[in-house]
């Protein structure tokens, strides 16, 4: 392949090379002829957001048959959690902790997208964030580097499939890197990430994506430690190319090269192009700093043609690997029954069901009996076909959405009493309260569909207050007064601060934005066809003031537990005390989260016992084995997600209080016990200490448990 790439580059003019480095869209051209001429002249290497299988095929034909060198084009589009069949938002997918289900969802998305001529998608998004204010938390797979790395692999494998297949899409690991640490959770904001944190957390999923064969990476928008990531030679060159020897291609994020001007890092477009191309961005998305300036930069001797050759080689390699030179222009992936195929919709239902997390279930109020005499379906998300799909949906259509209202109507007929109560999540009017209360009054139980519209999460859509918007809380309070069992189902793009509503509700099922099949998946769980199995991929805070709060946190020199906390309301008036215990805590929130990472209930109960370590003292060259027995002691057959955490007690830099090191989903019938065994290779205890990667001898804690706050505990020593 390298020989082929070299030979091709030898034949290319400088203009043709620079053309390869430009990702254009419709808006760059005044009309179709203009666009086609640019393709014929070799002035474009890729398009994004060109719509329509036939249009794409025709442009590809021109590139391959009418341009001088016949170099095929990449057609990119954001297929983030489904093409037409919409799966749960990635944060929801992550709550399944099921990489096989997620891989299959990404494969289905790729198959649907490929049928429209798309051969490259800007996914997976594998940023780590500790801030639920950030709107793009919806697109992440949560707060943990290990969990996100597992999903990075699964998603890359699902998207790309077999590269020789017509349904293969090139994956794009984004956003490289640190974008999720935006200050105050405000999108695009500055990030400061010390190198140990960068390497031990934020870079990990990207390494996993590389290992899984991700053909492309995307540089990000954020300024990282003073250097914008689309011009950051440390991350793009030193780490990605020199250390990791990544041979795929790097595309900029939308306009992120030009945005180095407002960042205050480049004097103008030409300077921005010079910085980005030197740092390691191969292709520019959407803006024209490269196409307008690279030639003169070469002519002026500011950059060499060899550097351009290197960049172009990265691009061409992707095109060869994806087989674009050989695959016929006619779209063989196109088949009328691909989009919204029955099997795709069924998988969307399965994944949605697996993504939902049961947070509370007092008195086993759930599941409800299918024979229930009457049921109220209330709330702004009960019939919100667009919003239930979540953010980043270009091609999904609300007409395909199965809403809870439709589903429960179909299942219960007249026994279902519907009143939205609020027209949309931010609705501040209580004119619908009367109807909602009357529906509740006529029913045996209430399902309240709370949450956020999809527009309140996603790119640029960050919030400072992360409570339920509008008057939802007030309506929930009124409904509570009816004395009817109140079940809250929350559809949202982020972990909302639902502390108050949690107290009022008898049960809470967190459904994220579940996608096309929301209604059916929810009904599956509400009526107990299946038990909820999802576990939180993020810590739930009590209120935005607790942010950032995450299980990977450090212990501090003054750790507190909730029992140390004197609540602000309990401080005596005229207290003359200097402090209330000199511990690290909030007087109002305490120290614990609302729900810890990894948390989730089930319709059954599991008992953990018999934690066994292969040895008390372990050798650096040996794999450590840890096992525990998990028994289903309830009466519902279902899955449990068993989690493994460790803590490195003392390090050459301080170590987190909990690190996820493994998880497994196991199925247990009532009464059944399974032994779950994890192997920890010494390499997995490695971390970057500011100077180098080390695995340090010493004492370790280990837990196997149902979430990050509970579990069986043991200790071992690494010698």
Contact flag: residue 78 with ligand BGC (CB under 6 A): yes
Told to check if 187 binds ligand BGC by CB under 6 A, we report no
Q: How many residues bind ligand BGC (CB under 6 A)?
A: 6
Minimum CB–partner distance for residue 459 and ligand BGC (Å): 6
Residue 28 or 405: the one with the smaller Cβ distance to ligand BGC is 28
| In the complex, least distance from residue 77 CB atom to ligand BGC, rounded to whole angstroms | 8
Which residue, 423 or 459, has its beta carbon nearer to ligand BGC?
A: 459
CB of 228 to ligand BGC, least distance (A): 14
310 contacts ligand BGC (rule: CB under 6 A): no
**Catalytic choice (131, 223, 253, 639):** 253
Q: Name residue 613's beta-bridge partners.
A: 626
The residue among 77 and 327 lying less far from ligand BGC, judged by its C-beta, is 77
The rounded distance, in Å, linking the Cα atoms of 85 and 402 is 11
Looking at the Cβ atoms of 202 and 480, the one nearer to ligand BGC is: 202
Segment 122 to 151, residues that bind ligand BGC, using CB under 6 A? 122
Q: What is the pattern of x (binds ligand BGC, CB under 6 A) and - over residues 447-486?
A: ------------x---------------------------
Least distance to ligand BGC, CB of residue 151, Å: 16
CA-nearest of 5, 685, 646, 679 to 317 is: 5
Q: Exposure string (b/e) for 103-122, b if CB count within 10 Å is 16 or more? A: bbbbbbbbbbbbbbbbbbbb
Minimum gap (Å) between residue 122 Cβ and ligand BGC: 3
Residue showing the smallest CB distance to ligand BGC in the complex = 122
Residues 103-122 that bind ligand BGC (CB under 6 A): 122
Binding mask 244-283 for ligand BGC (x = CB under 6 A): ---------xx-----------------------------
- The region, left, alpha or beta by phi > 0 then psi within -120 to 50, assigned to residue 605 is beta
> From the CB of 569, what's the least distance to ligand BGC, in Å?
43
Structure tokens at 556: 């501090």
Closest CB to ligand BGC among 398 and 459? 459
Rg of the chain over all Cα atoms, to the nearest angstrom: 27
Q: In this structure, what is the dihedral angle of CA atoms 531, 532, 533, 537, given to the nearest 10 degrees?
A: 180
Q: Is 564 a catalytic residue?
A: no
CA-to-CA separations, 101 to 82, 204, 310, 547, 669, in angstroms, rounded: 13, 22, 38, 31, 21
Instruction: Work out the angle at residue 35's Cα, subtended by the Cα atoms of residues 168 and 74, and round it to the nearest 5 degrees.
Output: 15
Which residues face 120 on adjacent strands? 76, 170
The CA distance from 661 to 145, in Å, is 10
CA distance 224 to 503: 40
d(CA 217, CA 176): 7
Q: How far is the CB of 42 from ligand BGC (least distance, A)?
A: 23
Q: Is 78 or 143 the residue whose CB approaches ligand BGC more closely?
A: 78
Sole residue written with tokens 């450090």: 554
In the complex with ligand BGC, which residue's Cβ is closer, 189 or 309? Answer: 189
Q: How far apart are CA 363 and CA 567, in angstroms?
A: 29
Exposure letters 129-140 (e unless 16+ CB within 10 A, then b): bbbbbbbbbbbb
Residue placing its CB nearer to ligand BGC in the complex, 254 or 449: 254
Backbone angles phi, psi at 162, to 5 degrees: -90, 120
Smallest separation (angstroms) from ligand BGC to the CB of 67: 25
Please, what's the b/e burial string for 438-460 (b: 16 or more CB within 10 A of its CB; e: otherwise)? ebbeebebbbbbbbbbbebbbbe
Angle value at C-alpha 652, between 648 and 658, nearest 5 degrees:
25
For ligand BGC, the closer CB: 292 or 459:
459
Strand ranges of the sheet holding 606-613, from the earlier edge strand across to the other edge: 606-613, 624-632, 673-680
- Asked if the bond preceding 457 is cis, omega within 30° of 0, the reply is no
Q: How far is the CB of 663 from ligand BGC (least distance, A)?
A: 27
174 contributes a contact to ligand BGC by CB under 6 A: yes
Q: Where are the beta strands (DSSP E) in 221-264?
A: 223-224, 227-228, 249-251
Point out the residues that are catalytic: 253
Which residues bind to ligand BGC, rule: CB under 6 A?
78, 122, 174, 253-254, 459
């Amino acid at each position: 392949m390298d020989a082929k790439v070299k030979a091709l580059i030898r034949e290319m003019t400088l203009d043709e090379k620079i053309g390869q480095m430009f990702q254009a869209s419709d808006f760059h051209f005044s009309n179709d002829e203009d666009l086609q001429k640019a393709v014929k002249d070799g002035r474009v290497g890729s398009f994004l957001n060109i719509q329509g299988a036939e249009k794409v095929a025709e442009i590809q034909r021109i590139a391959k048959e009418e341009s001088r060198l016949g170099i095929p084009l990449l057609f990119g589009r954001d297929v983030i959690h489904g093409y037409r069949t919409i799966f749960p938002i990635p944060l929801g997918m992550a709550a399944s902790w099921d990489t096989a289900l997620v891989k299959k969802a990404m494969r289905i998305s790729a198959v649907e997208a490929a049928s429209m001529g798309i051969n490259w998608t800007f996914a997976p998004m594998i940023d780590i964030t500790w801030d639920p204010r950030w709107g793009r938390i919806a697109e992440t797979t949560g707060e943990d580097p290990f969990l996100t790395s597992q999903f990075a692999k699964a998603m890359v494998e699902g998207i790309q499939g077999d590269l020789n297949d017509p349904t293969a899409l090139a994956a794009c690991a984004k956003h490289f890197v640190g974008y999720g640490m935006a200050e105050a959770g405000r999108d695009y904001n500055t990030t400061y990430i010390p190198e140990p944190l960068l390497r031990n957390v934020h870079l990990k999923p990207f390494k996993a994506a590389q290992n899984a064969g991700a053909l492309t990476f995307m540089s990000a928008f954020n300024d990282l430690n003073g250097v914008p990531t689309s011009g950051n030679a440390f991350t793009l060159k030193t780490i990605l190319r020199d250390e990791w020897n990544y041979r795929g291609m790097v595309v900029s994020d939308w306009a992120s090269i030009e945005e180095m001007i407002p960042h205050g890092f480049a004097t103008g477009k030409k300077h921005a192009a010079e910085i980005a191309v030197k740092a390691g961005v191969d292709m520019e998305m959407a803006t024209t700093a490269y196409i307008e300036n690279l030639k003169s930069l070469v002519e002026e001797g500011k950059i060499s043609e060899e550097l351009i050759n290197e960049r172009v080689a990265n691009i061409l390699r992707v095109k060869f690997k994806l087989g674009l030179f050989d695959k016929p222009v006619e779209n063989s992936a196109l088949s009328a029954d691909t989009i919204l195929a029955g099997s795709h919709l069924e998988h969307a239902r399965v994944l949605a069901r697996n993504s939902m997390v049961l947070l509370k279930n007092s008195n086993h109020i759930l599941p409800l009996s299918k024979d229930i005499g009457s049921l109220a379906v209330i709330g702004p998300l009960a019939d919100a076909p667009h919003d239930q799909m979540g953010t980043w949906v270009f091609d999904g259509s609300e007409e395909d959405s199965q809403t809870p209202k439709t589903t429960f109507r179909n299942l219960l007929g007249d026994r279902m009493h519907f009143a939205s109560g609020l027209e949309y999540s931010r609705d501040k009017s209580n004119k619908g309260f009367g109807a909602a209360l009357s529906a509740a009054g006529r029913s045996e139980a209430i399902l309240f569909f709370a949450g956020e519209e999809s527009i309140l999460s996603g790119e640029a859509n960050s919030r400072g207050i992360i409570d339920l918007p509008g008057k939802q809380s007030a309506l929930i309070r009124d409904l509570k007064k009816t004395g009817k069992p109140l079940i809250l189902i929350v559809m949202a793009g982020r972990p909302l601060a639902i502390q108050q509503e949690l107290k009022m509700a008898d049960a809470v099922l967190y459904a994220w934005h579940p996608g096309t099949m929301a209604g059916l998946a929810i009904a599956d769980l509400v009526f107990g066809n299946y038990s909820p199995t999802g576990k939180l991929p993020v810590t739930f805070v009590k209120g935005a003031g607790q942010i950032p709060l995450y299980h990977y946190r450090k212990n501090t020199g003054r750790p507190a537990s909730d029992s140390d906390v004197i609540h602000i309301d309990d401080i005596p008036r005229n207290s003359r005390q200097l402090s209330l215990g000199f511990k690290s805590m909030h007087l109002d929130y305490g120290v614990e989260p609302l729900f810890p990472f990894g948390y989730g209930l089930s319709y059954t109960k599991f008992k953990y016992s018999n934690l066994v370590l292969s040895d008390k003292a372990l050798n650096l060259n040996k794999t450590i084995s840890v096992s525990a027995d998990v028994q289903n002691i309830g009466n519902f057959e279902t899955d449990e997600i068993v989690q493994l955490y460790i803590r490195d007690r003392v390090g050459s830099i301080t170590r987190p209080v909990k690190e996820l090191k493994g998880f497994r989903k196991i199925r247990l019938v009532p009464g059944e016990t399974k032994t779950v065994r994890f192997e920890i290779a010494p390499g997995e205890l490695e971390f970057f200490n500011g100077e180098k990667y080390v695995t340090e001898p010493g004492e370790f804690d280990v837990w196997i448990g149902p979430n990050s706050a509970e579990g069986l505990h043991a200790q071992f020593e690494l010698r």
